[in-house]
Chains A and B, each alone.
Chain A
Amino acid sequence: MPDLVIQATYFLGALLFILGLKQMSSPVTARRGIVWAGVGMVLATLITYFHHEINHNYILMTVAIAIGGIIAYVSGKKVAMTDMPQMIALYNGMGGGAAAAIAAVVLIQQQPMSLTVQTLAVVGALIGTVAFSGSLIAFFKLQGIMKGVIRFPMQQWMNALVFVITLTFGLAIILSGTQYEMSSLAIFFVLALVFGVLMTVPIGGADMPVVISLYNALTGLAVGFEGFVLENPAMMIAGIVVGSAGTLLTQLMAKAMNRPITNVLFSNFGDGGSGESSDVSGSMKEIDSTDVAVMMAFAEKVIVIPGYGMAVAQAQHKVWEMTKQLQERGVSVKFAIHPVAGRMPGHMNVLLAEAGVPYDIIYDLDEINDEFATTDVVLVIGANDVVNPAARTDANSPIYGMPILNADYAKNVIVVKRGKGAGFSGIENHLFFADNTRMLYGDGQAVASELVSNIKEL
């Protein structure tokens, strides 16, 4: 096949990726976007069979595609929506590993390359390998295979030391042209793997989304760099676009959590503020679900603030059923989503969408925060830190400065909670003690079912 056809197909593929990504940035066209990008991928993959640099291994190659493809297809179809973040981490790690493996093949062949190309090959290898092992650790953590965070004294120094040694090996490989030893290449890859692990183990679960997003951007960069090495424009463009889009996405996520990216990577959550809970006045006042049902059914305006706890309790379907009942009674119901609700920005939207909640009654923080003052009832279900007024008032609180949903401004706040203890982050929530707050204890799904049947009986 003439090279022109192949190059034209790659061009078309890259164009479809960019247009697809653009479409994915609006909820109305998003589905079309992924299909376009998918078409681009299939075209680029098929045409590669005719690539002039490929001269053997066709069958083995097809077998490999089938193995990777089938495993990923089955696991991707089976995974629960709540577990999406770790699957993204896993697939991302695979991409990083693939980019690193490409670099390994190129570097083992020791063909003469220009200094620039050799540098890109080595840097791409480093980034891809770190993204690979780092993403796997992120997957293990979110999947619960690996629990807690691992910290030891002088950790940051040790990580820095490993990084510097890795860089030294990389630099030596770049500068020695084709004269480097295979053993130093192997050591370079092993060190990069170790660095990815070391960098990720001290990071806590709450910060994982930011880290996954960062590794996603890094894999993009690695793919882009290896694209330069292989002179493959589709890889170059797609990789760099993802690298820059992913970097911005990482920044947006870190900003939504009010955690500079450097804090996520190099410091430990909760180390900043004093660990002691500042004085909380008042007490928690209990309420039962019959009263809550009455309160909401006769309200004009209700806002539901869902958190990850709701998704874990699988309560979103019941909550949507309750919402429909209230809407039939003429109550205006809106959902308020904090940027970090769920495990990733937008994750809660996906979970609500799964239950059938239409996206146009779901509002984000900036859109809805002024409405709380005119709201009759706010139902907080499975959320905690994102409604803690301490973020506004208590400079000692570890979450001080984080933008929160102003649930406390509403006339009545109902908090659905399993027990009386502090939340995921262990920070005392001042909202629970406020005069206009009532606590509704119980499992999210059980409480939501009770509310549904109580409203029905009214």
Chain B
Amino acid sequence: MEGFVALYIFMLAAVTGYEIISKVPVILHTPLMSGSNFIHGIVLVGAMVAMGHAETTTQTVIGFIAVVLAAGNAVGGYVVTERMLEMFKSSNSNNKDKKEG
């Protein structure tokens, strides 16, 4: 990939991540850390590619470990985040958006 295109992606993604988090109430810090923990579970895709073009047994074994770990990251991250967010409910729908922003 072109060096500068990569650099642009890097910059824009970094700004996006920063902007998303900067307006978050403290109440959501732990769920959000857990949520972002889930999102880097996308490493599973890379682990599959690494395993899928492994050339030797050693590479296959390392690739296998990578896929196991990555799948654990993705699934575990999702389950834990979902369980946490499931609990957020409001006592009164009228002042539902009080805590936003």
A interface list, Cβ under 8 A from B: 10, 13, 17-18, 20-22, 24-28, 30-31, 33-35, 37-38, 41, 44-45, 48-49, 51, 53-58, 60-61, 64-73, 75-77, 79, 81, 84-85, 87-88, 90-92, 94-95, 97-99, 101-102, 104-106, 108-109, 116, 212-213, 216, 219-220, 223-224, 226-228, 230-249, 252-253, 256, 337, 339, 342, 344-347, 349-350, 353-354, 358-362, 364-365
Contacts and interface: CB of A to CB of B under 8 A. Distances in A.
A243 B21 CA distance: 11
B65 A71 contact: no
Q: For the side of the interface on B, what is the size category?
A: 35 or more
A91 B74 CA distance: 8
Nearest to A215: B37
Of the candidates B16, B17, B88, B95, the one having the most CB atoms from chain A within 10 angstroms of its own CB is B17
Of the candidates A22, A38, A66, the one having the most CB atoms from chain B within 10 angstroms of its own CB is A38
A248 B10 CA distance: 16
B59 A216 contact: no
A94 B41 CA distance: 9
B43 A98 contact: yes
Given A24-B31, A24-B35, A240 B43 contact: no
A234 B44 CA distance: 11
Contacts of B81: 24, 34
B100 to A, nearest CB: 5
A7 to B, nearest CB: 12
6 contacts: A38-B82, A51-B52, A57-B63, A65-B67, A94-B70, A95-B70
Interface of B: 1, 3, 6, 9-10, 13-18, 20-56, 58-60, 62-92, 95-100
B39 A360 contact: no
A344 B30 contact: yes
B67 A235 contact: no
Contacts of B48: 45, 48-49, 51, 54, 61
A243 B14 CA distance: 7
A22 B20 contact: yes
Given A68-B69, A94-B72, A232 B29 contact: no
Contact of B53 (A54, A67, A242, A361): A54
A349 B71 contact: no
A98 B73 contact: yes
